[in-house]
Structure formats: C-alpha cells, structure tokens
Amino acid sequence: MDNMFKPRIIAFCCNWCSYAGADLAGVSRFQYPPNARIIRVMCSGRVEPRFVFRAFEKGADGVIVTGCHIGDCHYISGNKKAEERMKLVRYLIGILGLEEDRFRLEWISASEGQKFAHVMTAFINKIKELGPNPMFGKIEEGTECQQ
C-alpha cells in the first residue's frame, strides 16, 4: 500500500528566487521525485492563505511555499509578510485536523538548485510517511483567513 501512495503536492515558488532555484536544479540535472506541481507567483507574499486551504480541500497531500531568503525578497519584505501569514496557516491546518507537517515554508535562493532538489525530496518523503490527506472531501468550502 505504501508503495502505491503517490502524494500530490502543490508548490508555490516566488519568481525571483525559488522558481529560479527550481530552474537551476533542472539545468544541473539534480533529480527529485515527480510529485510536486509548481505554481509560479511573483513573491511568496502573494500566497493567500486561502490558496493553501483550497489545495488541501481539493485533495493535496502537502503544500509548500518557497521564497527568497529573509532580507533578499525582490520586493523588500514580501517574504516576511508571508512568514507571518504562514505561521497562522500552519496553526489553522492543525485546527482543521491536518498534520502541521503537511505544510512547509522554505527559503531557497536562485543559486540553490541543490537545495531545491533536497527540500522537495525531503518534503515528498515526509508526506509519504504521513500518508494521504485524511481531510480530503471533509474540509468545508470557503475556509478563509481570519487574521
């Protein structure tokens, strides 16, 4: 059964650092498991909490948000805003009955192709350990930010 489980992962990558890091992983041919589907956003600060909830609601087994290292955000502090927001997301995911580890926030720079591949591999393995999203179909539509 375990081998049969192929996690479905949504990854939000900021255009300036992490998406470029993902490109570099490709250029360098660093291999990682094929489970993540990347959505490019301009900045990690663009990621609305409801995107994350929506992904879980629609059956994602894990969601990862990646951005520039703190201090390096192309828009000065978008990642700091993301960090605050995503703390809340982690907390709310717990309340929804999901393991907090199904969600992750990581800083990956444009030159960290290797790190991108490592982070993806580690995250996917973690989700494999956790198994399928137990709340799939049970989360109410319209869970929103309460900040």
Interface contacts to other proteins, rule CB under 8 A:
4-10, 15-17, 19-20, 22-35, 37-43, 45-51, 54-55, 58-60, 68-69, 71-72, 74-78, 81-82, 85, 109-111, 113, 117, 132, 144-147
Alpha carbon 11 to its chain centroid, in Å, reads 4
The residue count for binding ligand FES (CB under 6 A) is: 13
Q: 117: how many CB neighbours lie within 10 A of its CB? A: 22
Q: Is 121 helix (H, G, I), strand (E, B) or coil?
A: helix
| Stretch of 9-17, 87-95, 98-106, 131-139 lying at the interface with ligand FES (CB under 6 A) | 9-17
Q: Give 62 or 67: the residue with its C-beta nearer to ligand FES.
A: 67
The tokens of 36 are what? 């993540």
Is residue 57 within 8 Å of 4, Cβ to Cβ?
no
The tokens of 26 are what? 């490709």
| Stretch of 12-20, 24-32, 92-100, 112-120 lying at the interface with ligand FES (CB under 6 A) | 12-20
| Stretch of 55-63, 74-82, 88-96, 119-127 lying at the interface with ligand FES (CB under 6 A) | 74-82
Q: Give 72 or 99: the residue with its C-beta nearer to ligand FES.
A: 72
Q: How far is the CB of 25 from ligand FES (least distance, A)?
A: 16
136 secondary structure, DSSP code = T
Rounded CA-CA distance 15/39 in Å is 10
Q: 90: how many CB neighbours lie within 10 A of its CB? A: 17
